[in-house]
Each structure stands twice: as C-alpha cells, then as structure tokens.
C-alpha cells in the first residue's frame, strides 16, 4: 500500500467539473443500429460488413468502458461523432504498417530503411509481369518446363564474365547455400581469422558454417593471414577455401591478407573450390564517381574464383536477393543442393532483379537510371544549395523553440562499404533555443518528425538533430509537411 495516498486529490488536482453529466452506457447504440445510420451505411457499402462491424464493436466496447467509469463526454455518443470515430478506426485498420519514410540519416543504403530504392523500370516490369500469369518456369521455346534461374542467368554471366549463375532469397542464403553445397556433411572449410565477420541480424560466419553442416577451420590471426596458413591447413577433409569481405569493419596497421588471385593457385593445386563472399558487390567501379571503391564480382571471376556471392539490394541497387556467379561445376552443385529450393527467390524480386540488371547494360546511363546510385553521386554543392533553400522555411516552422542552420555533414554509403569512408554531404542542424532540457526538446522534435504523414528520420548528434539532405530527392515532399510539424509541436 506504500505510495497509495488516502487523499489522491491532494496530489492530483481533481478534473475540472464537466458542464454536462457524462454519457451512460445505455446512451450508446447497439452495433446494428450504428451500422444502419446513413454515414455508417455508406462505410459498410464501401468496405463490406465484416470489417466495419468488427471496428464498430471495438469502438463501442471502448466507449462503454469509458461510460462505466463516468469519463465519457456526452458529445462522444452523438451520431455524427460515432460515425466519424468509426470511419477513423476503419481507416487506421486499413493503413499499411509498411510505409514510405524520408531517409535523412545520411546513410544511403540503410538496412533499417529498406536498403536500395527500386528503379522505375523495375517497378514497370513488376506491373507488367505480376498482374497476370508469366513464363516464370515455362520455356516458351520448347513449350515445356523451364527454370526460373534462366530469367537472370545470362545477364549475370554477361555482366560478370562468369560461366554460370544462380540466385536465392538474399546474400545470407547465398553464403549458407554455397557452404552447404560445397562443404556440408561435416567437411572442412578454411577461412582466415581476420574474416570471421558478424553482419547485422546475428549472421556470424562461424554460426553460418555450423548451420550449413560444415566444420570451420580458422587460419592465421586477427590481423595477419598468409598463403602458407591456408596451404598448411589443407587435409583430406578439406572441401572449400573461403574468403569473406570484411564489409563493416577494418583492421588497420600491421596487417596481411591473401587475395583471391593468390588463393586460387593454392585451391587449384589441391583440387579444391574457392568461394568469396563480397557482401555489397557493386557491378561498376564506384571510383569513377569519386566514391569509395568496392571489390567487383567480375574481378573475382577473372581471378578464378569458383563462386562469388553478393547482395541484390545493397550497391547493386535492386531488390533483396543473393546472387551467386562462378564456374559451371560449382554452380551446378549449388543448384542441386536441396536447400536451394528452400531458399529460392520469389517471382517478384526476380522480376525486379531482371529489370535492375538490364540497367547495367547501359553503364553510361546508370547514375541517372539507378536511384540509389543517383543519390550516392549527388554533388555536395547541390545538396548544400538545397539545404540553403530549405533553411528559412524550416526555421520559420520551428521558431522560436529551435534554431536551424545549414551545415556540412559526412554521410556514408551504408550496408557494407568501408565504414571509415565518408560521403561529403550537407543538411540542416536543428538546435533547441534553450540549453535547459535540450535533450528532451530534441527527442520531442525527433518524435514529431517520425509522426508526420511521411515520417522524417534524422539523427541526433552533439545536442543537435541533423537532417542530411543527400537522400531528399524532392524538397516539396518535406516542405509540404511543415504545417503538420508546426501543429505537432504546438
Ligand atoms: C550484407 C552481407 C551479407 C548478407 O547479405 P544480405 O543480402 O543482407 O543477406 C553477407 N556477407 C557480407 C560480407 C555482407 O556484407
């Protein structure tokens, strides 16, 4: 009973007395009567009986509880209020949980915010082939059964120089499948201690090896692994040599690693396959736009790797997918593994992937055609000019509680480019006018931004809320919401 006061009114002031007596439970209509009222009948007409009746029951149950404890305002039981409340509930029930947001975090390929953006041509292709039957697994030439891999295999081979290619649900699946197919059944996979990565979502290389039924044999040390380390670890049980791109961390200083070109020699001398997991795996050299360079799948194929795996929705700029390219013999073994069927790609991402890969046939147009690359290659000056144009508008909406300044920022590619590389960018820094309770004011502002019809996601750093404008393609989408933001903060 500690903490319970006999006289709560001394601690919480009593509510101001209502001008009218509270509504009683019997003032509420029965569900059927509510559904027959004209505006509600129109709602039923539009959405059908089940949904509207369900929401009507939920609404009336809530109101009845309020009426029982005497807190239901009489206006709430008026027919118009009930109809409006019901319409709001139905609309809320039908509102998708997955919604568009504005990514102003400065991280372009943001895993929590859906990674790569689909190109217009990919969306058009989805619309063209997904609203009716299609030849997903049907060979139009022979009139017989086809293979869904053939939708993208030739394109992937053309773009990477590989002999064969296959695709699965995501790159985590591609890595799991590669290891299971080439080294499952307790055989050994040799991997460097410097490459035992954990990427987001509890995907850790040692656990993946175990899940795939392989025995991991670690060689070298955290910072240095040499060719002889691999060679000395090979036994009759060895089935695979594996390289993993350390996409989200970097070992600096006194380091050594063995590249694929050198490992291929060791693998081939022992008749073993070599697989390399690139993670992001861009199909074009990003250095041509002044961006950090990522290893290219085609280089690893040229080096002689048997299997190269990479993601579809990181730098490739497509849908979630795991791409496997390599030598025919290894890809065939992977295709025959029963796990392949369990991890196979759906027809929607497959169609989007095909259209995305097509864009790479026109590399000169890529920075315009691929939205993720377009954002990555936006010049910092253009972003700064955009910030300068937005600053007075946002400042006016947030005055007098917050000040807004144009600032230079450093963003990042995200999802697997070297974490030490930064993208010069620009944006708006919002600081509370009062130092007192600044943290609370910023949290409130961040919450209000997330609560907008098109939620705005920024980042808080050093007592300021930063909005990096690199990914704001369309300023109007932001400015249109300023009145709503102002109202939310009032
Ligand atoms: C991102 C990543 C993966 C997983 O790819 P998903 O497409 O997210 O499944 C695997 N390996 C590396 C090195 C990565 O960076």
pLDDT of residue 106: 97
Strands (E), 297-341: 307-311, 322-326
What 3-state DSSP class applies to 215?
strand
Confidence of residue 15 (pLDDT cuts 50, 70, 90): low
pTM for the complete prediction?
Answer: 0.91
Are both 202 and 301 inside the same structural domain? yes
Residues near 7 by Cβ (< 8 Å), separated by ≥ 6? none
In a domain? residue 144:
yes
Cross-strand partners of 403: 431
The residue behind tokens 């008026």 is 78
Comparing 58-72, 163-177, 192-206, 362-376, which segment has the lowest mean pLDDT?
A: 192-206
254 and 310 both lie in a single domain: yes
Query: At 219, is the secondary structure helix, strand, or coil?
Result: strand
Q: Return the CATH number at 407.
A: 3.90.1150.180
Write out the E strands in 332-455: 402-411, 423-432
Q: How far apart are CA 285 and CA 288, in angstroms?
A: 6
Q: Which of 277, 318, 417 to mutate to test the pocket of ligand 1 (most atoms within 8 A of CB)?
A: 277
Among residues 335, 365, 395, the one where a domain terminates is 365
Phi, psi of 229 (to 5 degrees): -60, -45
In which band, very low, low, confident or very high, does the pLDDT at 19 lie, cut at 50, 70 and 90? Answer: low
Residue 358 shares a structural domain with residue 382: no
The yes-or-no verdict on residue 246 having pLDDT over 90 is no
CA distance 171 to 313: 9
Q: Residue 12 domain-assigned?
A: no
pLDDT on residue 420: 67
Q: Verify that 85 and 157 share a domain, yes or no.
A: no
441 is a domain residue: yes
When divided into structural domains, the chain yields a total of: 3
Indicate the DSSP class of residue 345: P
* 322 CA closest ligand 1 atom index: 7
| pLDDT reported for residue 486 | 96
Is 266 a residue whose pLDDT tops 50?
A: yes
Task: Render pLDDT for 170-211 as a digit per residue (tens, 0 to 9).
Answer: 999 999 999 999 999 999 999 999 999 888 777 899 999 999
Please report the atom of ligand 1 found closest to the CA of residue 416: 15
290 plus 184 within the same structural domain:
yes
Residues touching ligand 1 (Cβ under 6 Å) are 170-172, 175, 197, 199, 244-245, 247, 277, 279-280, 311, 322, 416
| Alpha carbon of 198 to ligand 1 centroid (Å) | 9
In this structure, is residue 114 part of a structural domain? no
Final residue belonging to a domain, choices 298, 330, 365: 365
Domain match, 63 and 179 both: no
CATH of the domain at 322: 3.40.640.10
- 3-class secondary structure, 115: coil
With H, G, I as helix, E, B as strand and everything else as coil, classify residue 310: strand
Asked if residue 151 and residue 234 are part of one domain, the reply reads yes
Residue 162 lies in a domain: yes
Q: Do 127 and 254 sit in the same domain of this protein?
A: yes
Does some domain include residue 3? Answer: no
Q: What is the pLDDT of residues 87-115, one digit of tens each?
A: 999 999 999 999 999 999 999 999 999 99
Share of the chain above pLDDT 90, in %: 88
Q: Where do we find the tokens 């039923």? A: 44
Report the nearest-CA residue for atom 13 of ligand 1.
279
Range 22-45 average pLDDT = 95
Does the pLDDT value for residue 81 go beyond 50? Answer: yes
- Structure confidence at residue 490 (pLDDT): 87
324 and 257 assigned to the same domain = yes
User: What is the DSSP annotation of 56-69?
Assistant: HHHHHHHHHHHHHT
Residue 460 pLDDT exceeds 90? yes
Task: Using the predicted structure, report yes or no on whether residue 249 has a pLDDT greater than 90.
Answer: no
Task: State which residues form the domain around 457.
Answer: 102-109+376-489
Tokens of 287: 């250095």
Q: What is the mean pLDDT of residues 359-370?
A: 97
Average pLDDT taken over every residue of the chain? 94
Report helix angle 79-94 to 38-47, nearest 10: 20
Q: Which two tokens stand for residue 98?
A: 């997955």
Band (281; pLDDT cuts 50, 70, 90): confident
Residues 142 and 248 in one domain: yes
Q: 183 — phi, psi (to 5°)?
A: -145, 15
Residue of 171, 204, 243, 281 to test ligand 1 pocket, by largest number of atoms within 8 Å of CB? 171
Q: Where does a domain end: 334, 365, 396?
A: 365
Residue 311, token pair as written in the block: 């993601």
Residue 10 lies in a domain: no
Pocket test for ligand 1, best of 109, 116, 174, 203 (most atoms within 8 A of CB): 203
CA torsion sign for 244, 247, 251, 255 is: positive
- Tell me, what's the pLDDT at 1? 39
Residues 361 and 381 in one domain: no
User: Which residue's C-alpha comes closest to atom 5 of ligand 1?
Assistant: 171
Q: Binning pLDDT at 50, 70 and 90, where does residue 14 land?
A: low
Residue 379 makes CB contacts below 8 A (sequence gap 6+) with none
Residues 268 and 414 grouped into a single domain? no
Write out the H or E segment, with its range, that includes residue 232. Answer: helix 227-233
User: Is the pLDDT at 126 greater than 80, yes or no?
Assistant: yes
What is the enclosing helix (H) or strand (E) of 321?
none
- 485 in a structural domain: yes
Q: Which of the residue ranges 10-14, 120-124, 243-247 would you say has the lowest mean pLDDT?
A: 10-14
User: Strand 238-244 vs strand 274-279: parallel, antiparallel, or unpaired?
Assistant: parallel
């Amino acid at each position: 009973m500690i903490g319970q006061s006999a006289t709560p009114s001394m601690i919480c002031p009593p509510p101001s007395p209502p001008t009218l007596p509270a509504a009683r439970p019997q003032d509420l209509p029965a569900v059927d009567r509510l559904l027959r009222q004209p505006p509600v009948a129109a709602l039923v007409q539009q959405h059908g009986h089940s949904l509207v009746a369900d929401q009507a029951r939920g609404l009336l149950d809530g109101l009845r509880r309020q009426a029982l404890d005497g807190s239901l305002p009489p206006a709430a039981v008026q027919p118009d209020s009930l109809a409006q409340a019901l319409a709001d509930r139905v609309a809320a029930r039908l509102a998708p949980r997955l919604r568009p947001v504005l990514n102003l975090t400065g991280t372009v390929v943001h895993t929590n915010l859906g990674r790569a953006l689909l190109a217009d041509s990919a969306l058009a292709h989805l619309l063209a082939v997904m609203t009716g039957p299609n030849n997903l697994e049907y060979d139009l030439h022979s009139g017989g059964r086809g293979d869904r891999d053939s939708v993208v295999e030739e394109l992937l081979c053309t773009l990477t120089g590989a002999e064969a290619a296959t695709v699965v649900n995501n790159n985590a699946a591609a890595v799991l499948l590669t290891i299971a197919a080439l080294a499952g059944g307790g055989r050994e996979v040799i991997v460097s201690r410097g490459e035992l990565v954990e990427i987001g979502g509890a995907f850790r290389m040692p656990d993946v090896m175990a899940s795939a039924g392989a025995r991991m044999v670690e060689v070298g040390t955290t910072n240095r692994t040499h060719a002889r380390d691999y060679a000395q670890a090979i036994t009759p049980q060895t089935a695979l040599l594996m390289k993993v791109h350390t996409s989200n961390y970097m070992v600096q200083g006194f380091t050594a690693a063995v590249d694929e070109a050198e490992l291929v020699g060791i693998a081939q001398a022992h008749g073993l396959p070599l697989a390399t997991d690139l993670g992001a795996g861009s199909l074009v050299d990003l250095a041509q736009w002044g961006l950090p360079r990522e290893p290219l799948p085609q280089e690893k194929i040229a080096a002689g790797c048997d299997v190269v795996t990479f993601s579809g929705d990181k730098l490739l700029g497509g849908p979630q997918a795991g791409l496997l390219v390599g030598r025919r013999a290894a890809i065939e073994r992977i295709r025959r593994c029963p796990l392949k069927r369990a991890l196979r790609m759906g027809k929607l991402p497959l169609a989007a992937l095909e259209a995305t890969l097509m864009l790479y046939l026109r590399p000169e147009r890529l920075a315009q055609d691929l939205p993720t690359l377009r954002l990555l290659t936006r010049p910092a000056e253009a972003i700064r000019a955009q910030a300068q144009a937005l600053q007075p508008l946002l400042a006016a909406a947030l005055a007098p509680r917050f000040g807004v300044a144009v600032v230079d920022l450093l963003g990042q590619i995200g999802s697997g480019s070297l974490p030490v590389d930064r993208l010069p960018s620009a944006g708006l820094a919002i600081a509370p006018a009062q130092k007192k309770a600044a943290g609370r004011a910023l949290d409130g502002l961040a919450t209000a931004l997330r609560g907008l019809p098109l939620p705005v996601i920024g980042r808080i750093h050093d007592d300021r809320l930063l909005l990096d404008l690199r990914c704001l393609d369309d300023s109007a989408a932001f400015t249109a919401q300023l009145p709503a933001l102002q109202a939310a903060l009032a």
